Amino acid sequence: MIRACVLLAILSPAALAAQDTVRFTPKVAQPTYAVRQPVLRVRPGTVLVSRTNFGP
């Protein structure tokens, strides 16, 4: 168990450094409860930094 924790602690920073970061700022507001095409598709593990249309 201790080995697993040590291995996880060593590999976690490497996994975080390998993640992609996508910054998304919407240009047009859309109704929340509407059926629409996705505006953005991301892969698992990708970090998404988003802003809203209603504030910072």
Q: What digits encode the pLDDT tens for the residues 12-53?
A: 655 555 568 888 887 877 667 777 787 778 888 888 888 776
**Which stretches within the chain are classed as H helix?**
2-17
One-character DSSP codes across 12-25: HHHHHHT--EEEE-
Q: What are the structure tokens assigned to 30, written together?
A: 């859309």
Q: pTM for this one?
A: 0.42
Q: What pLDDT, on the 0 to 100 scale, is given for residue 52?
A: 74
Tokens 């993640």 locate to: 19
CB 38 within 8 A of CB 12: no
Give the whole-angstrom CA distance, residue 2 versus residue 7.
9
